[in-house]
């Protein structure tokens, strides 16, 4: 059923310039424009953005070079995961009022033919924004990295950095539930206190502390069996000597390099390769998109009851208004977020 559309306007952020690989993005990277709301054609739906996810991968897509995903081109709407409400529908699978998780980007409205809709949220989902975090891409990332790559065994030592962030908070709690000794790494005492007090980490170490490597070593007296690599850089330098023989290292992200260069891999390469060989490490890079067809249903079956039942806690860092998205991403990349970053775009 098509519904007459109002004369509302669509605010959207488009890219005006790319960012050098070793530079921080600035607000001048984007321009806010206002255009008419598009109309849903045959077989299409009009989606109204309610929540926009801000994620570290967005930084990589600001470079003027394609990686595992194309860079955002000048004049294009900035990419981003969203929870949206169906405002008008000419598609048999979607009714007006349905909530869906899609990638509508940094804008109020988007037209979809359904092919880019990842899931329809369950009717009455109590926290739609969680489908961008604990029950969405970051939660799935955490679950997949731990269960399918980390392959945890009770009693082992598990370490993750950015421990209170979108991925870290979920993988830390799942690892604890799997019977592991969990060691978090986070920026600052407040985040560390939250990691141990609320998320159940056995220990949390502040990576900004001068004696961070020594503190990490003391926190892992038997070494590290599973290291979830979220950040790279000096944190990995401290982790590498502590990895045990046959340790598993899901390589999830390298946020410390996203605006600092160094991803070409020359400086640490011989030491890293030697460790990989001598300790027979299992190092596995992954991009979560690849895991959707085979594993997403298992994730939902496992994680949804835990998250909705409160056995896995959720901390969100909520930002109001689409206009705040550029600064929100800039802050996230500096570690100024405390929890999964979501922008409340519409109601």
Which residues ranging from 11 to 30 are in contact with ligand NDP (CB under 6 A)? none
Task: Please tell me whether residue 207 binds ligand NDP under the rule CB under 6 A.
Answer: yes
Stretch that binds ligand NDP, among 121-129, 158-166, 216-224, 301-309 (CB under 6 A): 158-166
Among candidates 19, 59, 82, 40, which has minimal Cα distance to 256?
59
Which residues ranging from 316 to 335 are in contact with ligand NDP (CB under 6 A)? 332, 335
Task: Please tell me whether residue 213 binds ligand NDP under the rule CB under 6 A.
Answer: no
Which residue reads 């519409």 in tokens?
A: 346
| Closest residue to bound ligand NDP by CB | 165
User: E strands of the chain, at which residues?
Assistant: 9-15, 30-36, 45-53, 82-89, 99-102, 109-112, 119-120, 157-161, 181-186, 203-206, 224-228, 243-251, 282-285, 316-320, 340-344
Which residues ranging from 161 to 200 are in contact with ligand NDP (CB under 6 A)? 161-162, 164-168, 186-187, 191
CB 179, min distance to ligand NDP, A: 23
CB 254, min distance to ligand NDP, A: 6
d(CA 17, CA 243): 41
**What letter would DSSP give residue 75?**
T
Where residue 282 falls (left for φ over 0; alpha for ψ -120 to 50; beta otherwise) is beta
Sign of CA dihedral 328, 333, 336, 341: positive
Task: Please tell me whether residue 252 binds ligand NDP under the rule CB under 6 A.
Answer: yes
Stretch that binds ligand NDP, among 34-42, 70-78, 227-235, 273-281 (CB under 6 A): 227-235
Task: Please tell me whether residue 159 binds ligand NDP under the rule CB under 6 A.
Answer: no
CA 245 to chain centre: 29
CB 238, min distance to ligand NDP, A: 11
Task: Please tell me whether residue 263 binds ligand NDP under the rule CB under 6 A.
Answer: no
Summarize as ranges the residues that interact with ligand NDP (CB under 6 A).
Answer: 55-57, 138, 141, 161-162, 164-168, 186-187, 191, 207, 230-231, 233, 235, 252-256, 286-288, 332, 335, 337, 340
């Amino acid at each position: 059923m098509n519904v007459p559309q109002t004369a509302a306007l669509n605010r959207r952020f488009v890219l005006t310039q790319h960012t050098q690989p070793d530079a921080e993005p600035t607000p001048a990277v984007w321009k806010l424009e206002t255009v008419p709301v598009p109309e849903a054609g045959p077989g299409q739906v009009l989606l109204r953005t309610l929540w926009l996810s801000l994620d570290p991968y967005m930084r990589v897509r600001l470079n003027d070079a394609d990686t595992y995903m194309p860079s955002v081109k000048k004049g294009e709407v900035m990419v981003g995961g969203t929870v949206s409400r169906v405002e008008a529908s000419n598609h048999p699978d979607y009714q007006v009022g349905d909530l869906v998780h899609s990638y509508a980007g940094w804008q109020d409205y988007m037209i979809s033919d359904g092919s880019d809709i990842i899931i329809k949220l369950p009717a009455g989902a109590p926290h739609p924004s969680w489908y961008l975090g604990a029950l969405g891409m970051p939660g799935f990332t955490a679950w997949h990295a731990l269960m399918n790559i980390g392959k945890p065994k009770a009693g082992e030592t598990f370490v993750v950095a950015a421990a209170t962030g979108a991925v870290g908070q979920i993988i830390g709690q799942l690892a604890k539930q799997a019977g592991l000794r969990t060691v978090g790494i986070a920026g600052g005492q407040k985040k560390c206190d939250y990691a141990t007090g609320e998320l159940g980490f056995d220990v949390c170490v502040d990576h900004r502390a001068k004696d961070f490597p020594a503190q990490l070593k003391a926190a892992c007296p038997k070494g590290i069996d599973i290291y979830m690599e979220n950040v790279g850089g000096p944190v990995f330098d401290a982790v590498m000597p502590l990895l045990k023989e046959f340790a598993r290292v899901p390589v999830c992200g390298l946020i410390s390099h996203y605006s600092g260069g160094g991803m070409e891999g020359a400086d640490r390469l011989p030491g890293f390769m030697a460790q990989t060989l001598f300790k027979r490490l299992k190092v596995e890079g992954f991009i979560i998109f690849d895991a959707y067809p085979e594993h997403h249903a298992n994730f939902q079956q496992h994680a949804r009851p835990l998250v909705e039942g409160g056995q896995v806690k959720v901390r969100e860092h909520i930002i109001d208004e689409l206009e705040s998205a550029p600064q929100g991403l800039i802050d996230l990349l500096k570690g100024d977020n405390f929890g999964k970053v979501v922008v409340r775009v519409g109601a």
